[in-house]
Amino acid sequence: MKDQILKVVKIGGKLIEDDEKFQVFLRDFSSLEGPKILIHGGGNYATEMAYKLGYKTKMIDGRRITDSNSLKVIIMTYGGLINKSIVAKLQAMDCNSIGLCGADGKSIISTKREVNEIDYGFVGDIAEINSIFISALLDQNITPVFSPISCTREGELLNTNGDSVAAELAIALSSIYKSELYFCFEKKGVLQNAVDDDSVIENLDLKKYKALLDEKVISDGMLPKLYNCFQAMERGVSKICLGDSTLLQKNSKHTKILK
């Protein structure tokens, strides 16, 4: 194992849409020492682009149904516009980075999600991470910037949950580095009260997490995010934190996941 700490950071789409907060975040990220990886979401860009192209966006329980037209838009916006814009901004901050999706270097291999009660369409569940390829980039002081798009072994691109991408990257690379995982989104962390932005639960262990689930305190997009957190903690990630655009700053108020 390398004697380095790898920071894997996921930023949500809503923060990307806030230019001021996004610039602050990128400065904080670019100033991080040592190897690091950035994974970004897409926010409403794909929905807006689909509307302009005359495509309807279908959602079920807050999750996008990715039909063939939606997939084309997602590849264009996530893998193209957003990804390359982030890379360009990081280069301007002297952070040498490269924009990637799962097809590049076979970095994120997935399988198409099976149809159960809901057919999510062209959505990928991650099967394999090419940690050797990614580590080779990090060894050259290159920062990978991943869009949430994976690829099957047959060469099919699939829309993939960005939080899952971040968690699986951190898990896979924990055999090479001491890996840390950071989820940056619009809230200061996991909230005890959804309408009180200052009710941050600063330390969250598995027992407390299960109690909050039973109390229905955790819901919507926070459900898969925290599921990924505890899976990552169980599978070798050394540190996991959740918070807003200031998460990478010292003394920021945020949630830390505990075993």
pLDDT (tens digit per residue) in 89-106:
999 999 999 999 999 999
Q: Please name each of the domains of the chain with its CATH number.
A: 5-257 (3.40.1160.10)
Whether residue 61 is predicted with pLDDT greater than 70 in this model: the reply is no
Is 64 annotated in a binding site? The answer is yes
| Mean of pLDDT values over 241-250 | 96
Is 159 annotated in a binding site? The answer is yes
- Supply the pLDDT for residue 85: 97
How many other CB atoms sit within 10 Å of the CB of residue 195?
Answer: 6
| Mean of pLDDT values over 121-131 | 97
Whether residue 62 is predicted with pLDDT greater than 70 in this model: the reply is no
**Average pLDDT of the residues of the chain:** 94
| Beta carbons of 150 and 109 less than 8 angstroms apart | yes
| Portion of the chain with pLDDT greater than 70, in percent | 99
| Portion of the chain with pLDDT greater than 90, in percent | 79
User: 56: pLDDT confidence band, cut at 50, 70 and 90?
Assistant: confident
